[in-house]
Structure 1
Amino acid sequence: MSDISPENPIPGAHPELASLATRPYAPKSLRAIWLQIYDRLADAIERDLVAPGTKLPGEVHLADLFGVSRITVRRALALHQSEGKLQARKGVGIFVRQKPRYFEIRNDMTFADSLVADGGEISTRTLLLERGAASAEAARLFGLSPGDPVLKLHRLRMLDGAPIYVSRKEFPLARFPRFEADYAESASVVAVYRATGIAHYRRAETRVRGGLASREEADILGLTPKTPVQHVTSINRDPDGAAIELNRGCWPMSSVELVFTSDG
């Protein structure tokens, strides 16, 4: 066994985490070792001994630190990931998730305006832009026949480089015949609205429901499948009341606090 102690931790280990790790374990008959490791990690996260955004040591180092196998450590990490306390970034490592962000939902605010990022940098990655058959809900909303085409836009929002929100949008093709060209110039849906003569719009409806991340959502957001998430469905309308966008979004449950406000 390596000579590991709070004074002589492994490379990359946080000193307070090392101190928690080197405490004697209770008998396995009282609580499984992997759950005791889970408890110690939870203690470190909840007391901010390991600050939000901190990258944890790798599995090999953590196994050495806690004096157990990688499989044992992996079980403890996986439970924290499923609960949203930790976030795996593919090819990078496992991080302590940031504290929930304040996201104000008001009918005239853009995503960037709604997310108070405390100085964080918001970036966007377009995952899909294509024409395809409308979903049943979009067909009803836009007054289309089954199978009629719409514009589909899937995007990933990131905060300080970490995935925080994925959205799947549908737009009526007849209303936005130049959507692809207008979006290519700006990567902004609001700019597409304006290019089509829609100077103002309003979020007419927002529905929020809890659920579990699908495998696709988990892959995009860097979560363990079946992690608790918030699914948000919203509808944008133009000044005349016509529906111009159906949006379905997904937030990790612990990443955001949704706050509904009036227009003031």
Structure 2
Amino acid sequence: MSFRISNNLVGILNFLTFLLSIPILAGGIWLSHNGKTECEKFLDTPLIILGVCLMVVSLAGLVGACCRVSWLLWFYLLVMFLLIIVVFCFTIFAFVVTNKGAGEVLSGKGYKEYKLGDYSDWLQKRVNNTKNWNKIKSCLIDAKVCSSFSDKYANDTLTEFYSENLSAIQSGCCKPSDSCGFTYVSPTDWTKTTTNSTNPDCSAWENDTNVLCFNCQSCKAGFLDNLKSDWKKVAIVNIVFLIFLVIVYSVGCCAFRNNRKDNAYSSGWKHT
């Protein structure tokens, strides 16, 4: 019996996935041995797990479709079905937890300021966890988000600085809140003055480049605003990926049905 088109398609798609899993796995192993920062080391385990899973599942789909091994193809379809459920649930979840929160527009300023209470309770709990925030803070410091910010705007006058279009993380972590009323010296150097502000971030601010406003509520809010934007982009990509998965799953079901028919045909031929 001629080889079925659906089996060919599943075989080709899984061969490409297998090739993709190799650099992912290699990248995870490389990071585990050569990662220098906490952020780099944080990525090694997920990459290794993802690479191994892709390799195993793609091999199951490849062998199951091309060699007509029905139980391997059944395993492949089961994993694909679970993946579709997970991606669908995560996409819905991402839209739900990112539907709240936005920066506050300030009169005469090119940047916005961010308040932690404006974001979803679930996200707030994640960043208010000391262990989680210490890791995030370490990543922000390692990424030198405020060092590059200071260098870029080092020669700004106060008026020029106020007109800059700062990112959410720069606004929340690298400078004190405007409500504190501190005196500007440079982007990351402010003279503390007596203030009547009830904002707890005013007392958390330090000119030390490893402290700045990394312990501020505004920094957590700025991080969440950045995360919110990234998650929305990921959610949109997930929708496209979900459609692709459903198509592949449908083709895989056809290949599985073909395997069963071919195996039944072969068994019946042998008995005759």
* Greater strand content: 1
For the pair shown, which has the larger CA radius of gyration, 1 or 2? 2
* Greater helix content: 2
**Higher relative CO (CA 8 A, sep ≥ 6), structure 1 or 2?**
2
TM-score, normalised to structure 2, is: 0.28
